[in-house]
Chains A and B, each alone.
Chain A
Amino acid sequence: MSSLTKIPAGVQYFFDEEVRLRRHVEQQAMKVFAGWSYDEIIVPMFDYHDLFARGMGAERAERTYRFTDRDGALLALRPEMTSLVARTVATRFVQRARPIRLCYSGEVFRYDEPSERAAREFHQLGIEQIGQPSPTADIEVLLIAAELLKTIGLDEFRITLAHVDFFKGVAERFGSDEAKRANLRELIDRRNSIALDQFLQINAPDIAEERRQSFCQLTQIAGKAEAIAKARETLRNETSRTAIEQLAAIYDTLSALGLREQFDIDFGDAGGLEYYTGLTFKVYVPGWGTEIGSGGRYDNLISNFGKAEPAVGFSFALDGLVGARRNKNIALAAEASETIPLSDDQTRTFQSALALRKLGRNLKLQ
């Protein structure tokens, strides 16, 4: 097959309305970020592979597109932005006053096996807030995410809040038994409450039946204030209880701000344990089958590049934002332009063109 008609798997060309829509959504998002005093940072398209391995962990850094520099050093196309932002903050911005607020917009590249159909190139929009602990900064970034979704017309969004320590607290009882912890996590993540119940019956026989079932229900379906109440009743371990109270504090503030409907507490989300250290969240909108955005607190990440600092952030997939918006049939027309007929007198043709442009009007020569 000729490379003229073939496209490598996972990359895309965009044109016409798609481009207008993508640029429009991107601009709207960056305007929201700027409105909360987030300065844009532009980071390189590739950097040393080692940097990404430090940031996101060796296993995830395996899924990068790698190549060697002229001196033989291993480079990688950026698979995410956060590591690059974190290293900048930890090195170049050491002297700057905290908190530091940064936002970005750009393509990242990831190679996910074995999925043949998956995209390899994604446009991400996101923010990072460094230097301010929970919950103030957490609430700030959640409000920015909510504003962004409303601004681009995706009002029916749902953001689910979770906390990595909720699961960690429960898993503590299995100590260093990695297999059991992984099994527990898998069952919770799959929302398989019946199998979870059986698992706990066998592996944690000291838990009373009522509490065990209550825990299974709690992790199966996300909820609101009633989920928090149930979690308080059910969980005894200190780690989980602290996580519940942190989530409750964030949720109470969001409720008081009139966002009760849009936010859910999800005690069944056991993801992101390697990367995040506190709050995690995922964003869903009707008309898009997967999460279109996610984020959380990662207080340990910056220490991989310098001294430890609290940090929280999120990223949205532009594909998701644009796709969900397109499904709502919010069209975006091209700007109108005036036609200037071509004539034999080149000078006159272009004189009228320049005159129109001087007035700031759009034109098309034909």
Chain B
Amino acid sequence: MLTIALAKGRMQDDALELFARAGIVVAEEELKSRKLLVQSTDNRFQFVFVKPGDVPTYVEYGVADAGVCGRDVLMEANADVHEPLDLKFGYCKIAVAGRKEVVGQDYNLLATVRVATKYPNIATEYFHRKGIPIETVYLSGSVELAPLLGLSDRIVDLVETGRTLKENGLEVIDVITETTARLIVNRASFHLKRDEVSKLISELGNVLNK
């Protein structure tokens, strides 16, 4: 049996729907229960529901053989896992944003930019690549508030439609990268459970190609 870690929340529904289309179904009553560990009806898979940011950890350590999480989470965690499939759902951008006044302004290459973000690693990597010194302020939510209250000059955050930014008077300055949901697989499971893993990849791959 393969253990699959799914990110709780909206991505969970999209992921389960994709698995269902590939014939991997979890019974309705199992999902309605508050169990954190449920099995597919054919007993081939066991699903665990964890916080999105924890999916790469479960998979990297091999307590889950595979997982579904956003590329943003994967990049931030810098997890050493295989990433065989782009599952196409959960599309977002990871962008640098700021108040309208700072859009188009050059960075002062000698002054440290203060950036509020849920993604300190992605933000640091991005600014360092540009040669701009950065100080990250870690926030776990409502990151848009930071520039409004003067906590930071810029933010690095997920942008789906841009509506939240707009309503708070912020604008995208630069798109760092795009993200979608990914199937990730533990490196050891990839070899030790090769038949099951390759079957899963081809079943999901077939649905995606339809």
Residues of A in contact with B (beta carbons under 8 Å apart): 114-115, 156, 158, 160, 189-195, 220-222, 264, 266, 284-286, 288-291
Contacts and interface: CB of A to CB of B under 8 A. Distances in A.
Given A156-B192, A158-B192, 14 more contacts: A114-B121, A192-B83, A192-B85, A193-B84, A194-B208, A220-B198, A220-B201, A222-B190, A284-B188, A288-B62, A289-B186, A289-B187, A290-B188, A291-B187
Interface string B53-87: 00000001111000000000000001010111110
A190 B84 CA distance: 6
A289 B59 CA distance: 8
| A-B CB proximity, top 3 nearest | A289-B62, A190-B83, A191-B82
A114 B78 contact: yes
Interface SS of chain A: helix, strand, loop or mixed? loop
B78 A220 contact: no
B188 A221 contact: no
B205 interface: yes
Contacts of A289: 60-63, 186-189
A288 B85 CA distance: 24
B188 A191 contact: no
A290 B198 CA distance: 19
Specify which of A190, A222, A288 lies most central, judged by the most chain B CB atoms within 10 Å of its CB.
A190
B38 to A, nearest CB: 22
A77 B4 CA distance: 39
B10 interface: no
Contact of B86 (A194, A220, A266, A288): A194
Nearest to A284: B188
Contact of A221 (B186, B189, B194): B194
Contact of A192 (B86, B121, B189, B208): B86
B136 to A, nearest CB: 12
Nearest to A187: B83
A174 B198 CA distance: 29
A317 to B, nearest CB: 13
Interface residues on B, range: 20 to 34
Contact of A160 (B86, B121, B191): B191
B68 to A, nearest CB: 15
B85 A194 contact: yes
B185 interface: yes
Given A114-B121, A194-B205, A286 B192 contact: yes
6 contacts: A115-B78, A156-B192, A191-B83, A194-B85, A284-B192, A289-B60
Nearest to A186: B83
Given A114-B78, A194-B85, A288 B198 contact: no
B201 to A, nearest CB: 7
Specify which of A191, A286, A288, A290 lies most central, judged by the most chain B CB atoms within 10 Å of its CB.
A191
Contacts of A158: 191-192
